[in-house]
Amino acid sequence: MPAYTPRFWCTLILCCAWSLTACAADDSQAIRTAQTDATYATSAPTHTSSTPATTTTQTTTTTIPTITSTQPTTTTTVDEPAATVPSTTTTLPPPTIAITPRGIPVRVSEPTDQGWEVHDPCGDLVQVTKVFPVRGVQVVLDPGHGGKDPGTRGPTGLKESELNLKVSLAVSQLLQDKNISTLLTRTGDYYIELDERIALADAAHAIALISIHHNAPTAAKSNAPGTEVFAQTGDQESARLAGLLHGKVFEALSTVEDIQWTSRWDAGALRVVNSSGGDAYSLVRKPETTNALLEAAYLASPSEGAFLATDQYIKLIAPPIAIAIETFLTTDQFGTPLLERARIHNPSGGRRTCPLVELE
Ligand SMILES: [Zn+2]
């Protein structure tokens, strides 16, 4: 991991959360909604600069539970200018997704007297005193691996988990620049259960979930990139998303010269199934959200792995991923057709221990 501090992540995620909420609607009501959420989540966060300083006088514990009901204007001490406070108040249901003070995305279970009950990255129910609600997520990006599970490693020592996160953050920024709201399942180098990644995406009610990975070589040298994107069996929209991602990423990587690529003979947009016929990877099989899993290139391969460790690679790979997602959301276009024949693969699974992640 680069030397990003918890404050960095918190600021980044809060800005994301802020922009998510703010662009969920297009009138002044959105401003009110965002301020309300932030105010009820905690004592005034730094990005609520439009909220008068009087918000700092309110106590969190007395106001948090009121988010469960119609918010009467008399219960809040926020003294907002009349121009930003519509005369009608909004009924906000409790959020399904939130960011904790340490920048960890979590599923929200329910408000409590002390704050909130949320699912931590292990999926366990825990109590936190503050959260920053996130609403209106369109795209969930899932940086593969993390923490005690680094994934594969490149020739420079770069961990796949770190590269996946870098690419996801860059894609997230590009999508937000296009006014497409995003949520990352993982925002730092910590472990998160596969099932919790899936539950986060489904709880966000997003339109698409894209899991971002880089491959390890069990493949031959090739003149062309070995980009693979896995689609969910029986889901035409998943096939469309996978095809768009494959087409754009493969095209972008193909412009790079002097790389010894690695590829399997059946690389492309495809299904990977186990011997029972179900999708082999749970990140593809289980989500209700339309999804695709991208293996952009081979990190563990000496020649291309060294290239993947450069900033040039991040600048090259993020735009085509973002364009593929935008195209998926805004058109009916298809990219690379799904291979008719599914690959057979039986992943080694097994129960893992899940280390605790500090939430606040
Ligand atoms: Zn991986």
Q: What is the pLDDT of residues 208-248, one digit of tens each?
A: 999 999 999 777 899 999 999 999 999 999 999 999 999 99
- The pLDDT tens digits of the residues spanning 280-317 come to 999 999 999 999 999 999 999 988 999 999 999 999 99
Say if residue 350's pLDDT is above 60.
Answer: yes
CA distances from 295 to 115, 152, 198, 285, 335 (A): 39, 12, 18, 16, 16
Same domain, 150 and 216: yes
**Cα(253)–Cα(80) distance, rounded to whole angstroms?**
51
Q: Pick the closest to residue 342 from 294, 274, 286, 290 (CA basis).
A: 274
Residue 197 and residue 66 in one domain: no
Q: How many residues does the chain have?
A: 360
CA–centroid distance, residue 212 to ligand 1 (Å): 8
Q: How far does the centroid of ligand 1 lie from the alpha carbon of residue 345, in Å?
A: 15
Tell me the per-residue pLDDT of 94-133, one tens digit each, with 9 for 90 and over: 899 999 999 999 999 999 999 999 999 999 999 999 999 9
Residue 355 lies in a domain: no
Q: How far is the CA of 146 from the centre of ligand 1 (A)?
A: 10
Chain-wide mean pLDDT for the chain?
A: 80
Q: How far is the CA of 284 from the centre of ligand 1 (A)?
A: 13
Query: Residue 26's domain spans which residues?
Result: 6-134
Query: Per-residue b/e over 91-107, b at no fewer than 16 CB within 10 Å?
Result: ebeebbbbbbbbbbbbb
Element (H, E) at 235: none
Is residue 70 domain-shared with residue 208, that is, in the same domain?
no
* 303 in the same domain as 211: yes
Q: Rounded CA gap, 71 and 90, in Å?
A: 7
Q: What is the pLDDT of residue 90?
A: 60
The number of folded domains in the chain is: 2
Q: How far is the CA of 107 from the centre of ligand 1 (A)?
A: 23
Ligand 1 centroid to Cα of residue 211, in Å, is 9
Residue 326 Cα to ligand 1 middle (Å): 24
Tell whether 148 and 119 lie within a shared domain. Answer: no
**Cα(175) to centroid(ligand 1), Å:** 22
| End residue of a domain, out of 134, 149, 168 | 134
CA of 247 to the centre of ligand 1 (A): 20
